[in-house]
Structure 1
Amino acid sequence: MPIHDQKTFYRKLDILLSKIEVVSGGDQIELLSTVMRDLVESFGEELSIRNGRLYEVAGDELVVRRDLRGPNANLAGFQVSMSYPPIQLLFQHQCYIFDSNTPGLDPEFERKILGGTSSAAIVVGHERTSVLSFGLADGWQREEIEFCLNAIRNALNHKLQTIGLAASLEETRMIQRSLFPDKIPNFQGYEIAARAETAEDVGGDFYDFLPLDEEIIGIAVGDASGHGLPAALLVRDVVTGLRMGVEKDMKITPALRKLNLVIHRSTLSTKFVSLFYGELERNGNIMYVNAGHIPPYLLLDRGTFRLDVGGSVLGPLPEIRFKRGFAHLDKGGVFVAFSDGIVERTNRKGDQFGEQRLLDAVHRVRGQSAQTVLDAIFRAARDYTKTRWEDDATAVVVRRLP
């Protein structure tokens, strides 16, 4: 095929594939049927391809799922054994042109289902279990068809893979969105604010609020190792497990020991989670466990205190013993929990933002609303480097009203 014709071909192919879109859970058979029809309409004349059949591997058979010749062709559901020599050649080479000289080809069988002995096919789709097959009209050229169908196969498989990744990413986003609270709860006598910024489309930071009754609210802040779908699934397990434990009125330490065992037994590629979980009573008392998370702070008139009692991160070991910590949030005081994405934010000199700068930002606005305090933290961290977030950044602020 001349170079200028190749450019025209790729331009047309790119336009055709750019129209392919599918959402998570989309039907690949319908998608490939549309692609097959468009290929025949766009390239039928110049490549001498006609008709078109979509096959799908089903056990030891290759089953016809769509036939462009319409319902009168009566081939839907027709099966070809995977042991049929031409089929074995196709899956060996991924693209193959069949004619009367193809080893093992049954001319009578081919004429019965194809109307002739010349055809071409490519293997495509998820896990390469689908086949697009086309009849060849008189005048077809082997080199041109091999070149074009291989190009179509590679481009189509790449497009389908990209779509699959996009669908997976959208699924991951949906999982993550479902885990964050729909709204910040009201807790009489307190203001609460929270924010999570992700470095990528999906991260491993999370926070949650669990109203236990009118007098107690649970507060969770954590960081799952990794990013993307594995991290989102791990966060899902942690948040779900924590909520179930709280709903069953389990004590904090037994609930976390059980949750740790679930994470440890997980088959996910990433399974390490730092978690701070505390239960705040309306009178200001806090009972908490810090499982390897950066310690939150209480900023009070009488001093600044770190909430660092607990144990190691969840996941690495099957058995962990946790200690409970106790604190008190005075009137006018502020509780601040955060992830390492904020304090480890690094400037051009290699210096980290650090916990002291975070505390300084809080002290400057401590007498103002929880939302103002939260905004001050993120603004100070962002201005420190003036670059995009390199890691997930999460913070929760609880202010007890004077």
Structure 2
Amino acid sequence: MKASNNNAVWNEVPKSLSIIIGTPPWASWWAYLGYGFIILGFLYSARKFELGRQRKNVLIKENQLRAEAAELQARAIQAENDRKTKELEEARQLQLSMLPKELPKLPNLDIAVYMKTATEVGGDYYDFHLGLDGNLTVVLGDATGHGLKAGTMVTSVKSLFNSYADNNDIAATFNEMTKCIKKMHFEKLFMSFTMLKINGSKLMMSAGGMPPVYLYRSNHDSAEEHVFQGMPLGTLENFPYEEKELSLNKNDVILLTSDGLPELENENNEQYGYKRLRNKFEEFAKHEPDKIIEFLNQDGNAWLNGKEPDDDITFVVIKVK
């Protein structure tokens, strides 16, 4: 390169000048590497955000499905509860429809009855038949099972009782009823049964699978306990049922009961028991039949102390006038 001064004198030896133009920092390889990391970071964050959003949507959907499933299950449970409630009510109405609408009115006997059905209806049943000869037949039964199955057995036994009530041979009656029940092919359904026949001062009785018959003797001021070892109706044909014949006196009292009261359990899982039942009956027997039942119920409720009974409670009380 040559140049002159202000006097127009030029330099004799030329000078050289080198100018190097370098790469700007923002265009360097490490800058582009940084740009790459920034882009990758952005893509990673975007992807992470999208995955988080998707997971959140999946959780929301799962919660919705769980809520819908829970609602469907609740509806199914409610429908099943409604069905069972309806079935229990139908069973209760069927059971009550099998009971006599009126009690026999006899000059020498005072009769009172009581039945309380449990939440899950059992198969208690009582009935009366007054023959043309003045013979009074009294029965108390307890079908196995609960609900409509027990109601079906009660319906069948009532029909059979109406057919055989005039038969004075109790053992023969039981065996004829058993034969008929077995022909119906009820699966594991039986009927525990007590039958009394009262004609004047004569008492005939037998039972199969039932609690004892209690007989209060007024002249001794004590209660007898009559236990029968017979089988429930519908089990064994031609069973040798035991029969007892006794004499009744004025102010004697007969108590028939299902196992509902003696098998009541209190809050300590202790049963009311047959011994307590006999003692309480002996204590209350001087009263009229309806009062005897009232006092027995009061004692049973005191034993339960607020618990609900899980079986039917039934009494038939007959007092000789």
Question: How many residues align structurally?
Answer: 258
SS at 2:157 equivalent: helix
Find the residue that maps to 2:210 and give its secondary structure. coil
Alignment match, 2:309: 389
Q: Where does the alignment leave 5 or more consecutive residues of structure 1 unmatched?
A: 11-146
Cα distance in 1 for partners of 2:70, 2:261 equals 47
Give yes or no for contact 1:257–1:319 (8 Å, CA) kept in 2.
yes
User: How far apart in 2 are the matches of 1:270 and 1:255?
Assistant: 21
SS of the residue 1:188 aligns to: coil
Write the distance in 2 (CA, Å) between the matches of 1:230 and 1:256.
Answer: 21
| Corresponding residue of 1:191 | 110
Q: Aligned runs of 1:24-63 on 2, under 5 Å?
A: none
Flag the structure with larger Rg. 2
| Of 349, 365, 371, the match for 2:290 | 371
- Over the matched positions of the two proteins, sequence identity in percent amounts to 24
Letter in 2 for 1:315: G
Q: Structure 1 residue 159: deviation in Å?
A: 7.2
Partner residue in 1 for 2:176: 258
**Does the 8 Å CA contact 1:230/1:268 hold for their aligned counterparts?**
no
Aligned mates of 2:194, 2:280 — CA distance in 1: 22
Distance in 2, Cα, partners of 1:257 & 1:266: 15
Q: Deviations over 1:291-331 (max 9, x none)?
A: 12111111102343233346222222233222321122210
Change (3 A) 1:310 1:288: farther
Amino acid corresponding to residue 206 of structure 1 in structure 2: Y
Deviation at 1:361? 2.1
Per the alignment, do residues 177 and 385 of structure 1 end up closer, same or farther by CA in structure 2, a change over 3 Å counting?
A: closer
Aligned to 1:211: 130
Which of the two has greater strand per residue?
Answer: 1
Deviation at 1:165, TM superposition (A): 4.5
Deviates more, 1:358-367 or 1:255-264: 358-367
Separation (CA, whole Å) in 2 of partners of 1:167 and 1:359? 37
CA distance in 2, matches of 1:307, 1:223: 18
| CA deviation profile, 1:324-364 (whole Å, cap 9, x unmatched) | 21122210111001111111112334432122222222233
Query: CA separation in 1, counterparts of 2:74 and 2:298?
Result: 44
Specify every segment of 5 or more residues in structure 2 that has no aligned partner in the other structure, as ranges.
1-56
Cα RMSD, aligned residues only: 3.0
Q: Deviations over 1:46-71 (max 9, x none)?
A: xxxxxxxxxxxxxxxxxxxxxxxxxx
Query: Which of 284, 292, 309 does residue 201 from structure 2 map onto?
Result: 284
Give the CA deviation at 1:154: 8.4
List 4+ stretches of structure 1 deviating above 4 A.
Answer: 150-167
Q: Does residue 293 of structure 1 match 2:237?
A: no
Shift of 1:266: 3.4
